[in-house]
Amino acid sequence: MKYCSLDPDVGTLYLYFTDIEEGQATAVMEYPVSLLLDAQGAIFGCRLDLDDEVILSQLELVLEGSYNWLDGEYGHLYIRIADEDPVETITLSETAILDLDDDDLVLGIELALPEEWRTPERLQRLTPLMVTFDDEPVDGEGPVVFTPPAISADDLPDSDEEPATPVAEEPLQWRSGFVALVGKPNVGKSTLLNALLGEKVAIVSPRPQTTRVPVRGILSRPGEQIIFIDTPGIHEPSHRLGKLMVELAERTLPNADVICFMVDISQPPTRLDRMIAQQVQRARGHKLLVLNKVDQKPKRPGENYLPAYRELGQWEMEIAISARRRLGLTALLSEISARLPEGPPLYPLDQMTDQTEQQLAAEFVREKALFYLQQEVPHAIAIEVEEWQEKETATYIRMTINVEKESQKGILIGAGGGMLKKIGSAARASIERMLGRPVYLDLWVKVRPNWRDDPSALGWLGYRAKNFL
């Protein structure tokens, strides 16, 4: 390692293998990382868990370091400042970002270091290599610099008041805006939203038409707030619920500052992709083509569908990502940030979604039903939360699962109640993770014939357009 630096504002530790010029790093890769600790608990290096997408020649600069080495058998890349074995290794929850130049050579690494690992004691062995950068903004052109307390939630306006300027010596130039994630069903929109936020706010399933109503996911970072809108996949609807889903998705387009048109790059474009691309083209926002599932092999070996997607419209930028494997997300975020308009944050900085705990809990039940049940049954499900009580030892939640037919009720309950139990216990685990306390989940099943085509049932189950204006 040539030198390192720490940016405490964003909690990032940079390790460099060469001198990096502004703009030299043009691409990134992301991999799991563990810290290497000595007997005193001080950091003296890290280990990256690579896969076979990295080739040896890309590591040329890294391996120039005297104590760095690659364990080819396991794909472990050790970056160290001394020839010693770790007494302990600690895996970080966030992946490390490898900065690459135009020739895909790894120049440096960025580690998101939690606060407890940024103390002088933990960093003492890296101190001799630490450099600082003079990043004073020049004539107000640089990024706005502020410390986290200057943007506490208390600084934000109440929703119906005039936006207040957060308390700081200099007025902050906030950027905020709406980013619509649109595309046909199953391309990975909800997976992307969760990956960008680092929290599960939208349910995901291998079945199309999982998302039924737009879900907002809010990412607040110093000086900016990005409000992502995960939308239902646009498709040809066969019932009133489907029609509403498509209408709600389409209605996000006119107001979006940035539109991410998401496609599955492992499959050729279909008529639906073409139709959605045309709708996107008519909207005013910045248009990005987001090619998801780059980790998946093309449907027919050797084929490349990029040119066909590119031709579907005029795109300001195309970005290849894997939402599932969290590849390319940093690049996507920086393209989005660069296109946000100026404006104050619209949500409290600690708020991550517009959904209530009850709504998300009901969605978790639907997600597990989508996972365990086949064919039409999971799509015929609508969930109501009937009771929610904080008791001494657990949160008691009673929900009704509505289905359309007696036969679906039988399948949902399963032999001896086995299927309902399976869905319930998987959903309970997700709800407990969200609430951080034990949950008692009581599920009941009711037949409500044809609810997906019944306007009054739809309204009463919460599927009405005016709820999402």
Residues annotated within the binding site for GTP are 183-190, 230-234, 292-295
Interface pick for ligand GTP out of 232, 242, 285, 378 (rule CB under 6 A)? 232
Site string for ligand GTP, 68-97 (x = CB under 6 A): ------------------------------
Q: Kindly state the helix (H) or strand (E) to which residue 410 belongs, with its residue range.
A: helix 406-413
The amino acid present at 466, given as its one-letter code, is K
Cβ proximity of 360 and 201 under 8 Å: yes
Return the residues of window 159-178 that contact ligand GTP according to CB under 6 A: none
Return the residues of window 69-98 that contact Mg ion according to CB under 5 A: none
89 binds, among Mg ion, ligand GTP, none (CB under 5 to 8 A by kind): none
Which ranges in 355-403 belong to alpha helices (H)? 357-372
> Quick one: 190 or 252, whose CB is closer to ligand GTP?
190
| Contact partners, residue 163, CB within 8 Å, separation at least 6 | 157, 343, 344
Return the residues of window 173-232 that contact Mg ion according to CB under 5 A: 189-190, 210-211
> Quick one: 23 or 206, whose CB is closer to ligand GTP?
206
**96 CA to centre of own chain:** 16
Return the residues of window 316-355 that contact Mg ion according to CB under 5 A: none
Radius of gyration of the chain (CA): 25
Q: CB of 417: closest distance to ligand GTP in angstroms?
A: 27
3-class secondary-structure state, position 261: strand
Structure tokens belonging to residue 452: 């997906």
Q: CB of 468: closest distance to ligand GTP in angstroms?
A: 15
Give the Cα separation of 260 and 468 in Å (integer): 20
Closest CA to 4 of 110, 121, 87: 110
The amino acid present at 242, given as its one-letter code, is G
293 lies in the site for ligand GTP, by CB under 6 A = yes
Give the Cα separation of 93 and 91 in Å (integer): 7
204 lies in the site for ligand GTP, by CB under 6 A = yes
> Quick one: 367 or 404, whose CB is closer to Mg ion?
367
| Contact partners, residue 139, CB within 8 Å, separation at least 6 | none
Interface pick for ligand GTP out of 95, 176, 211, 402 (rule CB under 6 A)? 211
318 binds, among Mg ion, ligand GTP, none (CB under 5 to 8 A by kind): none
222 lies in the site for ligand GTP, by CB under 6 A = no
Interface pick for ligand GTP out of 188, 223, 242, 348 (rule CB under 6 A)? 188
> Quick one: 57 or 304, whose CB is closer to ligand GTP?
304
